[in-house]
């Protein structure tokens, strides 16, 4: 992901002048590293993360605004179910529900949180067209945020969204973003569970930005000619690495 975003910054540095980080938890390393000199809008409703989140951004000298709310497709109140899915007792995941579910597995606590549509939060705000990036990683309610943020998303240069192989939402989430004017730019940070693909992050580029910058259309940039020195096939340095049994 860091490599992908560094390329973006090299090609079009003005395409990401602000970062909208939805589901920041305590920090987002790759956004902090590549865009340390940009303003970050941090959306995180889980109170247990707030102190550490602010400490991390202050320590790096990164300008930020912390929005202590949840995003969804409605403006109102929902219930945030904090869970400890690794059995440690610390909060690892948070799930938004429209009612309390006291029997949710691995439940730590339930918080009543205000919810807003992304379009409501930034109504009239200074988010110039094609000048910001949106990251979505919110444990399963990404579709609702997309539904409630059509205007903001249409103006973004890039959208990064987590997708799950288990939930089978990779294609559906890509399709939702395609409908608001995006196409695939990269697939990053493959995560495996017991040796099997579990999660990937999709980096989607706004079609208008892609059309405006020839370097985002490499086949046209090279006038259809294959330049072999620019072709990379997989990760050659891993070809001789043995595959370990993940069930040991």
Q: How far apart are CA 88 and CA 124, in angstroms?
A: 43
Residue-number span of the structural domain to which 218 is assigned: 2-238
* H/E element, 34: helix 29-34
Q: How far apart are CA 96 and CA 144, in angstroms?
A: 11
Q: How far apart are CA 73 and CA 147, in angstroms?
A: 6
169 closest CA partner among 144, 142, 148, 196: 142
Is 71 among the domain residues? Answer: yes
Report the number of distinct structural domains present in the chain.
Answer: 1
In this structure, what CATH number is given to the domain that contains residue 100?
3.40.50.150
| Per-residue model confidence as pLDDT tens for the chain (248 residues) | 999 999 999 999 999 999 999 999 999 999 999 999 999 999 999 999 999 999 999 999 999 999 999 999 999 998 999 999 999 999 998 888 889 999 999 999 999 999 999 999 999 877 999 999 999 999 778 999 999 999 999 999 999 999 999 999 999 999 999 999 999 999 999 999 999 999 999 999 999 999 999 999 999 999 999 999 999 888 888 888 888 899 99
* H/E element, 58: helix 47-59
Is 248 among the domain residues? Answer: no
Q: How far apart are CA 157 and CA 153, in angstroms?
A: 9
Residue 73: other Cβ atoms inside 10 A = 16
Is 244 among the domain residues? Answer: no
């Amino acid at each position: 992901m860091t490599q992908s975003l560094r390329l973006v910054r090299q090609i079009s540095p003005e395409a990401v002048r602000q970062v909208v980080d939805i589901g920041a938890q305590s920090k987002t390393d790759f956004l902090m590293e590549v865009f340390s000199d940009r303003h970050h809008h941090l959306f995180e409703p889980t109170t247990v993360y707030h102190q550490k989140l602010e400490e991390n951004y202050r320590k790096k000298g990164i300008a930020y605004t912390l929005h202590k709310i949840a995003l969804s497709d409605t403006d109102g109140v929902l219930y945030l179910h904090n869970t400890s899915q690794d059995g440690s007792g610390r909060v690892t995941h948070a799930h938004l529900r429209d009612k309390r579910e006291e029997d949710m597995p691995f439940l730590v606590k339930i918080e009543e949180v205000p919810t807003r549509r992304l379009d409501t939060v930034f109504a009239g705000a200074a988010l110039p067209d094609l000048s910001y990036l949106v990251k979505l990683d919110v444990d399963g309610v990404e579709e609702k945020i997309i539904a409630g943020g059509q205007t903001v998303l249409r103006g973004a240069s890039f959208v990064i969204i987590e997708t799950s192989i288990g939930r089978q939402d990779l294609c559906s989430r890509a399709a939702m973003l395609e409908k608001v004017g995006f196409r695939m730019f990269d697939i990053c940070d493959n995560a495996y569970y017991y040796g099997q693909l579990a999660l990937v992050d999709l980096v989607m580029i706004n079609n208008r930005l892609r059309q405006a910058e020839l370097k985002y259309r490499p086949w046209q940039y090279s006038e259809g000619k294959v330049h072999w020195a620019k072709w990379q096939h997989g990760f050659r340095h891993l070809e001789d690495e043995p595959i370990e049994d993940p069930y040991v």
